Chain A
């Protein structure tokens, strides 16, 4: 399998979605979405509820038909095939295990309907159950096992078919926080182990950051940005992306002759003249002793309104003299209430496209 570390190096993507449009009645759910998934890649489709992420997944699986556009997989037109002819398997949000079949028969289902020889079925099912550590529950009915265990069975049931592509529709959303974190890591390592491409749908940005090779951020049926977690965090393309992925401060500025002005703050920028929005992450603002601006460092004085404890760091709400409110992340116990001086380097203020203005 191709290493998922360099997905862009793959000459031809495994799955390519070309200008897919889908409406339900008058409601446009997806607007000309184009996206590709590489061999062995873990791609997350991230978005709020109603963003169209589940619809996109259902289009790949074949449960919905697109109004226009095409989906190709491994050189074959995928969107014309019925779901049962696609080399794609799905892990459903509510697992959708067959209640009348045992765990073993659930996992064997895909192989049996394809008329795989009985001894082969037994072998593959045994391996799949061992892989998700569910061998001891083989004879149980789904109603008798916990949510986390059902999740594992659903995964085994899909993976035993050796799909080219595995689709996962918020598979962890029903689990409690601890189990969820554990499953995130397990799922990620499992994906590397089997080398199958995963398309993972979630509304949880942290989950997306932890697991993905690339994140496709969807908003109102449009792709906001597609990039690696690091890139999308450090170089958000739009103000929506900057706010959705992690915390940020949005600075609405006016740029004149290479200098951005936002209330009392002033810093040099390469952005063109006119109105501009900058994203400034809370951790890029530091407390400082000196107040004289020096080179590319912007300094300002602000009053600490509230502070909240977040383990290794504190999150401060601060207000400048001109009323500008900012969020600042500092090491724990490093700031006391009252007037403080802060600084950030101008390079950390990232110019982003204003999502509000876009129609």
Chain B
């Protein structure tokens, strides 16, 4: 593990990515102490509408005279929290399904994989739209559940493929020959060897979920106002593009920086864990 960390730190891109991600997580965690104003405070509805970026409001203000920097920082808190929790859920389900399919083989494997093929055939946004039209006003917890439950398919395929290749390795064959049952085999011998691909999948998954959550919030189906979310701030900003372009611009930059950070970190982790894969 220390070898992996060492290899990770040797890549310049990965170092930049780690710094970015660390900074973002810190900003999200400390948002309540960092923000100059309350993110939902309407400061001055008469003279404070759509103020251009200035020393007092580095990102400007929006229609309700709310400080945009505060809203974007709180947005980081919401987006990252939703993304991390959804990814934990999706990776857990993906690992469980992938392990089951890979270990059981036969009919169980075939049924699970065909079901996943079908789920992957529906572009994710449409699947989310179906779920969201059926369960209205889901709230943040519901959103996490929905995002997690609709994004584990790729993870389960990756885990299954790993399990299939691990199954042919001597130590697994030996463990089976010794009479170990599937649950013990999975927990003791397979899971530790699956950690690396799972961590990479999770890191790359966070960026994807942030994009999906932003898209849903932009469509008015994700985090509901006045809670600040990057996607919904962009939607509000689009209404005033001619008057106050900064409202739509800044949250978008925040999303790009975050997703780039997690992508580079994920790529760096993959290279560090498996140096041959380059």
Q: Do A and B bind each other?
A: no
Give the interface of B toward A (CB within 8 A). none
